[in-house]
A = this chain, B = another copy of it.
């Protein structure tokens, strides 16, 4: 069976709410309550979960601890994942310093850049390697995920190199639609693109001319 990608995208949110409920000591939860917390219809939650199994009990709801574990297993969150980060500029350094990855099992194990000034330097405990050696290094030390934090103009070539190294999941911080062969999953994450689509809805309600400040 082929599960819609939108469903997969919602699962991490479900998993996170369930973890909260677990910490709050709640044993059972209904699709209605989960839906309220998530801003999603109860039917959608039941339908989404039904792709993977029958986790609930009629008349009762879902066992929070059990469902949480099932989702973590389905998503692979119960295992560690290795990441190569490409691009150690301002953004790359922020990503390297970000404390939110490792508690969730994501570990950046390789860092690459093209700037000779920082190649060889150690940043946040990781030696920066030459991106020209990316394929060679990934052969020696494979990773599961690539994070691309290079300028837009270089992102496609970096992604191509990652794909040649059999990296199948890529998080792309460059504001462009990257091309990749089928089987490779790319997610774009760009705050400017996100803002640029929201301004569409703001056009007629702009609060004040900037010059007035």
Interface size, A (range): 35 or more
Known: A82-B207, A202-B76. Is A195-B106 also a contact (CB below 8 A)?
A: yes
A55: CB under 8 A from chain B? Answer: no
Contact between B192 and A187, CB atoms less than 8 A apart: no
Q: Quick check: which of A60-68, A94-102, A119-127 contacts chain B, the rest being far away?
A: A94-102
Cβ of A161 within 8 Å of any chain B Cβ, yes or no, is no
Flag if B90 contacts A195 (CB, 8 Å): no
Is A58 on the interface with B (CB-CB < 8 A)? no
Asked whether any CB of chain B lies closer than 8 Å to the CB of A131, the reply is no
Chain A 165-195 per-residue mask, 1 if CB under 8 angstroms from chain B, else 0: 0101101000111110000010101011111
Q: Are B195 and A81 in contact (CB under 8 A)?
A: yes
**Which residues from B are CB-within-8-Å of A198?**
145, 169, 171, 185, 187
A111 to B179, CA, bound (A): 37
User: Which residues of the partner chain B approach A81 to less than 8 Å between Cβ atoms?
Assistant: 195, 199, 202, 206, 210
Task: State how many angstroms separate the Cβ of A141 from the closest Cβ of chain B.
Answer: 7
Shortest distance between the CB of A31 and any CB in chain B (Å)? 15
Most buried by B among A77, A166, A198: A198
Question: Would you mind naming 21 contact pairs between A and B with Cβ atoms under 8 Å apart?
Answer: A12-B175, A12-B197, A39-B178, A75-B196, A77-B196, A77-B199, A81-B195, A81-B210, A82-B207, A82-B210, A90-B99, A91-B94, A98-B191, A142-B207, A144-B199, A144-B202, A144-B205, A168-B205, A169-B199, A171-B194, A187-B194
A-B interface, 3 closest residue pairs, ranked by CB to CB distance from nearest: A12-B196, A142-B207, A80-B210
Binding site for B on A (CB under 8 A): 8-9, 11-13, 15-17, 37-40, 74-77, 79-82, 90-91, 94-95, 97-101, 104, 106-107, 109, 141-145, 147, 166, 168-169, 171, 175-179, 185, 187, 189, 191-203, 205-210, 213
